[in-house]
Amino acid sequence: MVEAEINNKENEEVEPNFDDPPGYNDPISDEELLGDVLRQEPLIDEYEENCLVVFGIPSVTKEKLAKLQTVMSKILNGINPNHVIEYPSSGDGSTKGCLFVEWENKETAQYALTVLNGYKLDKVHTFSAITIADMKNMPQPDENWEPPKPNEYANVGDLWSWMQNPRCRDQFSVQYENSAGPTVSIFWHVKGHEPEVAEDGSKPNWTESVFKWTPHGSYLATIHNRGIALWGGPKFQRYMRFEHLNVQYFDFSPCETYMVTYAPSNAKWDEDENCLQLWDVRTGEMRKGFSLYALTLRNELEGWPFFQWSHDDKFFACLKVPEKDKLEKQKKVNGIAVYDAETLQLVSNRYIVIENIRTFSWAPGGKNIIAYYSESTEQLPAEFGLISMPTGEKLRSARIYNVAEAQMFWQESGMRLAVHNLRYNKRTFKENGEVKFVGAMTSHIEIFELTGKKDVALMNLPLSEAFINFGWEPNGDKFCVLIGNQAKATPFVYRIDAMKHTPVCLGKLDAGVQLNTVSFAPQGGWLVVMACMSTGGNILFIDTNGQEAKRTSITEHPGFNKGYWDPTGRYFVSCCTVGCRVGADLGYRLYTFQGRELLRKNLERMMQFKWRPRPPVKLSEQKVKEIRKNLKTTSAKFDREDNEEKVKASQEVIDKRRKIMLAFDIIRKKNHALIEKQKDERKRLRNGVDTEADLQNEDLVEETITVALSTQKTLAVLSEEDERD
Amino acid sequence: MRPLSLKGHDRALTRVRFNREGDLLFSAAKNKAPCVWFTENGERIGTYEGHNGVVWDLDVSWDTKSMATASGDNSVRLWDTETGKCLNAVNMPTPARSVSMSCSGNLVAYTTMKMTKNLSTLCVVDIRDPEQMLLENNMPMFRAQLDHGAVASLFSHLDDKVVIGNEAGVLLQYDVRNPDMPINANEKTHKYAINDLQLSPCGAFIIAACRDKTASLLDVNSLDQLKQYRSERPVNSACVSPIRDHICLGGGEDAMQVTQTAVSAGHFEAKLYHLVFEEEFARFKGHFGPINTMAFHPSGTTLATGGEDGYVRVQEFDDDYLEFKYDF
């Protein structure tokens, strides 16, 4: 380099002046002179393809430029040492936070783009890169563009105010119709009393179709033509609005950080880039729009929720886009797309590949694990497996032969997974690809145990009858499996014993009635097995706390279609909502956890009943111990409070009744006085007989009438009566 | 006493009534012959033969000497209760739907249905006037034309005021001296057909049973609504207890839908409510179809109900009923 410089100097000194004299008109064009060289000159388009703009570079002062250059050179040399860097700087010499890199050809530039775009330098600096050609195609920003103004903070008060109820009461909300039209009302549940409407908690036309509580119960979400609205605080003021025209479905992530909304695209065959939208609940900002077509190759939604969330809101996932073969025919889905909720990128920039995947589901607690079920093919048996995220490591998989159908049930704690699989004897493939199963099917349950420190253990439980439903105790080690047929179902309660290879049966609760749903209380121990959408409407309450599972009670709510535990597991509600059966009594019935009915309420056109969920509260071990120890004194206190309340309430009722009675008695006295006046008139009309005279004062003649009950028929009717009574 | 279940009609019951003393029970059904029974043991004494169609309603005079019936064979008949002989038959152009006897037993009010050109009417005849009791009677002492058919009629006051409840849920009170204009009307309380009207035993209130799933207590003088009793099903009949501040109502899932419902979902029970507080406090099971008609025994401790299932049930209350008290 030094030598070259010297040469340069020499050149400057020695070189004579070749410049044309002023006014000289060159008769030979450049083309004639060096046409072949000029033709090699790169076009501006080509150049732009080779040149990248990288943003997100630390902005440094002149003094630190050298340091930045070494850092950047190191990165860029790693891609390809043949490049030229240009750091644009502002007036005082500090860099502008971006740079231009020129690569030798398009291919290198493309490779560099994939590396540099999204490159994380440190915590604050993430690069974004783009070729100049692409940048030129970007639309011009609006001339009048202004930085968005921060939204005014809507202070709706304490979002968890309802948790601080002195009597630890729970709220529930109901959508029904009253004189004001369709109404959503939020009630306090007061044991053994009429529910009380929460402050400002009842509004007509609050929502256009349905309402939802967020998973932690902080907000009430309502749906409108313009979008979604969230309401919270002690007076249910509006907290946030999310504008999404014609929104149809919405859904929250488990920690209520994000919300996903869906609106169908306007034209049926049009692709809507933003038909699925991901929102930040706290800021109201739309994070990203997704095109349904790009994700599924279809324009119609197949099911909701579309995205499945990990329990800590870190990831969300959906099935991978189906690939197309050479004939443009869709192949079977072969993977899961897992996105990082923070960056909105695919985790590790790739799909998780699982051939023939049918369904998957996140563990609802514990570690971030995905369970999947991939269907059997002609050659391969079905596979069930667990994948740890974000590493993508397969924790355990099991291949099972002859599986026709399967369902997965995670335990709420994320410690166990049960898989019900229906196995066939023989199957045949028809020409059109349809599969036909021949012979009887058998039901099995496989249980994956993630509790152990080492590997994931696997247990098998064959079922003696057809499977109907399954339910885990949310945090314990028990589960209930319902087997049987349409007319008669039998719930079995099992406990998983770490020392044994198969679950231990705690009891068979033969009720001899139709049942179809298992629902464990949120705190465990108590269990409800019910028959939703049936004429009988049986509800079976079971106690599994002891050595043996016992039935505490069985009740009937004809035609009910939904049953819910309250978030504390103290009460259970069964309800009949619109759409369960024509002519059924819409309304709800409330029971204690043991099945004693507390309240029965009929509501016109009741559409929804929802307990307000509670956020998870973790008490320290010590605190729990303390509470256990003081249970006797505290429960005595509660009993006293309950009693006081009862006395107060009944006094109120008595006062109210007294008033009603007084008002009624005035009318009654008035009318009786009128009637009394007409006594003579009545006597005259009845030929002078006083029919109101006391019967006892009359001379009654006792007559004995002997009646012979002789005919056989009459006897038969009477004996039938005997039996009935 | 155990409840009696009386099977004398092979079709749905339309009316049960006790006589003033309560020793006899009269029942009418959709078959042709009304029956009379001993209340005490449920023995049937006899039937009244003569009608040739549904007997929609019957009423017994205060002295139990005569009984009036309204029938779908387009006639109203007057009977000698003791002999079962038909004293008079008055023919109408359309079916008679309800009948009520006045305080003296001399006047009979009845309503007829609307059919083709013939409007629905409310008529009152004096049974002492042979002119009015002719077979082809065109000369009742009172005739009012009604806009809607009336299923229930009732002498509400001595021999001079009649109340009707029509299929549009309107209650009208007429003075028998003036058929042109009703003296009172109540259009607000009910929106659907009124199925039954009964006078409270003290004579101060009327209880109306309505298809809109409620029964209401009305002031006998003004027809103002005083109380309303909500049921989960259409109410076909309601009556007021003669001894306590209670009412009883009955009804159930529409007869048309009965085959599609479980018995427990049909609400075929008779329901007892407090007269003043409008709260339900007891139910009687028994019928396996809707209850069409009911009546309190004058003693207040027995209740007769007639159902779509063709049975009359006579239910005596247990002793707890008399001890049961509301705190106020």
Domain containing residue B153: CATH number: 2.130.10.10
- Contact at CB, B204 and A661, closer than 8 angstroms: no
pLDDT band at B36 (very low <50, low <70, confident <90, very high): very high
Q: What is the pLDDT of residue A324?
A: 79
Q: Cβ atoms within 10 A of the Cβ of B185, count?
A: 12
- Contact at CB, B4 and A721, closer than 8 angstroms: yes
Q: Is residue A45 part of a domain?
A: yes
Q: Which domain holds residue A647?
A: 623-656
Q: Is residue B328 part of a domain?
A: no
A337-360 mean pLDDT: 89
pLDDT band at A721 (very low <50, low <70, confident <90, very high): very low
pLDDT at A411 over 50: yes
Number of residues assigned to chain A: 725
- Contact at CB, A725 and B2, closer than 8 angstroms: yes
Residue A651: its chain B contacts at CB < 8 A? none
- Contact at CB, A685 and B158, closer than 8 angstroms: yes
The DSSP output letter for B119 is: P
Which stretch of A97-101, A564-568, A595-599, B75-79 has the lowest confidence by average pLDDT?
A97-101
- Bridge partners of B6? B312
- CA distances in angstroms from A79 to A69, A116, A237, A633, listed in the order given: 15, 9, 55, 72
Q: Which of B91, B267, B170, B38 is nearest to A707 (CA)?
A: B38
- Contact at CB, B62 and A672, closer than 8 angstroms: no
Domain end marker among A656, A678, A710 = A656
> A575 to chain B, minimum CA–CA distance in Å?
14
For residues B207 and B228, the answer to whether their CB atoms sit within 8 Å is no
Q: A255: helix, coil or strand?
A: coil
Q: Is residue A48 part of a domain?
A: yes
* CA–CA dist A651, A48 (Å, integer): 87
Q: Model confidence over A447-491: pLDDT tens digits? A: 999 876 778 888 899 999 999 999 999 988 999 999 998 888 999
Q: Which of B175, B119, B179, B176 is nearest to B150 (CA)?
A: B119
Q: Is residue A377 part of a domain?
A: no
CA A226 to chain centre: 22
CB-based contacts of A448, cutoff 8 Å, min separation 6: A371, A384, A386, A396, A398, A416, A417, A418, A419, A456, A457, A458
Domain end marker among A611, A641, A656 = A656
Domain count, chain B: 1
Domain count, chain A: 2
pLDDT band at A4 (very low <50, low <70, confident <90, very high): very low
* CA–CA dist B170, B167 (Å, integer): 7
* Token pair listed for A157: 């008060």
Q: At what angle do helices A621-629 and A631-677 cross, to 10 degrees?
A: 60
Q: Which residue of A has its CA nearest to B105?
A: A686
Q: Model confidence over A504-561: pLDDT tens digits? A: 999 898 888 889 999 999 988 899 999 998 878 899 999 999 889 999 999 988 889 9
Of A583, A602, A672, the CB nearest to B253: A583
Q: Is residue B233 part of a domain?
A: yes
Q: B258: helix, coil or strand?
A: helix
Q: Is residue A348 part of a domain?
A: no
Q: Which domain holds residue B191?
A: 4-323
Q: Which of B55, B58, B127 is nearest to B90 (CA)?
A: B127
Query: Is beta strand B75-80 parallel, antiparallel or unpaired with respect to B86-91?
Result: antiparallel
Q: Is residue A474 part of a domain?
A: no
Q: B314: helix, coil or strand?
A: strand
Here the CATH number for the domain that contains residue A94 is 3.30.70.330
Q: Is residue A264 part of a domain?
A: no
Which H or E run contains A111? helix A106-116
* CA–CA dist A247, A244 (Å, integer): 6
Q: Which residue of A has its CA nearest to B299?
A: A695
- CA distances in angstroms from A428 to A379, A382, A440, A443, listed in the order given: 13, 16, 14, 20
> B159 to chain A, minimum CA–CA distance in Å?
8
Q: Is residue A16 part of a domain?
A: no
Q: Model confidence over B41-79: pLDDT tens digits? A: 899 999 999 999 999 999 999 999 999 999 999 999 999
Domain end marker among A637, A656, A675 = A656
For residues A258 and A341, the answer to whether their CB atoms sit within 8 Å is yes
Q: A25: helix, coil or strand?
A: coil
Q: State the sign of the Cα–Cα–Cα–Cα dihedral A268, A271, A274, A276.
A: positive
Residue B106: its chain A contacts at CB < 8 A? 685
Q: Model confidence over B305-323: pLDDT tens digits? A: 999 999 999 999 988 888 8
* CA–CA dist B81, A680 (Å, integer): 27
Residue A668: its chain B contacts at CB < 8 A? 204
Residue B207: its chain A contacts at CB < 8 A? none
Of B103, B327, B328, the CB nearest to A685: B103
Each as own residue / partner, the long-range contacts of residues A485-489 (CB below 8 Å, 24 or more positions apart, any chain) are A486/A514, A487/A514, A488/A512, A488/A513, A488/A514, A489/A513, A489/A514, A489/A515, A489/A516, A489/A529, A489/A531
Q: Which residue of A has its CA nearest to B260?
A: A535
For residues A306 and A276, the answer to whether their CB atoms sit within 8 Å is yes
Q: Is residue A289 part of a domain?
A: no
* Token pair listed for A407: 């369902």
Radius of gyration of chain B (CA): 18
Radius of gyration of chain A (CA): 39
For residues B317 and B323, the answer to whether their CB atoms sit within 8 Å is no
A190-195 mean pLDDT: 84
